[in-house]
Structure 1
Amino acid sequence: MVSDYGGMLSASEEQRLTQKLNAYAKETSTQIAVVTEASLNGNTAFDRSLAIAQGWQIGGSDQNDNGVLVYIARDDRRIQIQTGYGAEGFLPDAIAKRIIDQIMTPAFRQGQIYRGVDEATGAIMSLGKGEYSADDLPARGDSEGIPPIVIFIMIFVVFILISRFNNRHDDDDDDGGYWRGGPYDMDDPHRKVRRRRRRGGGWIIMPGGFGGGGGFGGGGGFGGGGGGFGGFGGGDFGGGGAGGGW
């Protein structure tokens, strides 16, 4: 259940995690795997982790697909959680993102890799058994970084200020008519039309959104640093989960 190819855990830490995850798999049929690698070698964390999850078929069975992969790329400082189809019910993308941002990232930044992985897998296990809810995760204010809603408000305020500045600049240009019939003659009906058109406008729609979760299907073959890993049972993944870094 734990493959520390990146050498981020001690032998005893890897053993403790493996024992915990194996016991959980026997109890619940949900399989949680932890994989670390030294480098992404030019891949994205999403593509690499999805390839591993699909290639190893992490999960209980074809009917359950209760698999979760916690993937860590050491040198790239990237984290990715991949959820099987059967695990998406108790571990939706938004919750996976909170586990990364509020549990793993703070611990990793303090150099406490084992604690971050242990607490993250513990939270996933409790969510799977219904003993833990999203409300039990640390409050967003307890983690580092700016909440997405604050970023959105800041962007919105900036657009409002820019809009007001442009309108005021238009008024300054239009109110100083130099001569009748000229380009600044406010009695010129064509000028009024031009002014209205300059004052017109609409909302600027910003594509995309905030939060995490795979937005595209990936995959492809994978090789090097990983290799096959027995003990998994036919789980399937569609790219659900979340990513982050430290």
Structure 2
Amino acid sequence: MSRLRGLGGPGCVHAQSSSSQDLVATLPAPTDYVSDLANVIDPTSKQQIDELCSELDHQAHAQIAVVTIDSLNGQPIEEFATELEDKWKVGPKASDRGLLMIFAIKDRQRRIEVGYGLEGVLNDAKVGDIGRSMVPLLRQAQYGPAILGGLQQIATDIATDAGVTLTPVQQTYHYQQQDAGGVRLGSILRIIIFVVILIVIFSGRGRGGGGWLWFLLGSMMGGGGGGGRGGDGWGGGGGDGGGGGFGGFGGGSSGGGGASGSW
């Protein structure tokens, strides 16, 4: 707060601060690591983000709040982030190892606000690079995968510093692309095999092994298509690898470190 109040005339800064405080005051209290107030994060990404934040909280003793809002109502995102951190106090009180990821969707603005205790791990230049890496997916309105990708980079640095290993998380966006291609190829192969089996059966060549041919044909027609993604094995699936859920933020603080940008 001290950095912000030192900028410009006192009256002007007070007016901006009051407006930012008013905006923050309208937000509901956090009930999870993810506060998707703009309702733009898909359920799968939201679960993965939440699980990764939980692991960081319980294993690396660092708390991250992911926040999406519709608009900043003309307020600077840096000031909004500082006001939000002052109210929510993300991060353990003793260490200030907290971080905010904020996305104002209609304004196309983003901010990574870093708490005092993480500034040595995530300096302004590094979080600036991470923020820019999210831009391509943000521009495609792939908000969940974009945030998850940025969070993974942040989590890697925090976990390395803390000497802990986190559960890998799949990138949903890329897996969806691969699945679509896999389904098309699988359907074509199934049709070809289906036709070959019919030819063999009705040509009389399959009399000796007609039983297994009919069984194979029945299996193909019966589906067996369930669980095409059941072998992902990348930390999704509802379990909390961190050993506990959201228990509230711990009283951390920030000095205005971090990086902002647009998309």
Fold match, TM over 0.5? yes
Matched, 1:105 2:135: yes
Instruction: Report the secondary structure of 2:112's partner residue.
Output: strand
Partners of 2:121 and 2:158 within 8 A in 1: yes
Q: CA RMSD in A?
A: 1.8
Q: TM-score, normalised by structure 2?
A: 0.54
Q: % of aligned pairs identical?
A: 35
Q: Residue 36 of structure 1 aligns with which residue?
A: 68
1:50-61 correspondence to structure 2 within 5 Å = 50-61=82-93
Instruction: Report the secondary structure of 1:17's partner residue.
Output: helix
Matched, 1:235 2:249: no
- The count of corresponding residues between Structure 1 and Structure 2 is 148
Matched, 1:130 2:147: no
1:10-159 correspondence to structure 2 within 5 Å = 10-61=42-93, 63-101=94-132, 103-130=133-160
Give the unaligned 5+ runs of structure 2.
1-32, 162-245
Give the unaligned 5+ runs of structure 1.
132-228
Tell me the CA shift for residue 109 of structure 1.
Answer: 1.5
Deviates more, 1:23-32 or 1:229-238: 229-238
Letter of the structure 1 residue corresponding to residue 252 of structure 2: G
Letter of the structure 2 residue corresponding to residue 64 of structure 1: S
Could you say which structure has the higher helix fraction?
2
* Alpha-carbon distance in structure 2 between the residues aligned to 1:13 and 1:130: 23
Tell me the CA shift for residue 13 of structure 1.
Answer: 2.5
Partners of 2:134 and 2:147 within 8 A in 1: yes
* Alpha-carbon distance in structure 1 between the residues aligned to 2:81 and 2:43: 23
Tell me the CA shift for residue 11 of structure 1.
Answer: 2.9
Q: TM-score, normalised by structure 1?
A: 0.57
Instruction: Report the secondary structure of 1:51's partner residue.
Output: helix
* Alpha-carbon distance in structure 1 between the residues aligned to 2:55 and 2:136: 27
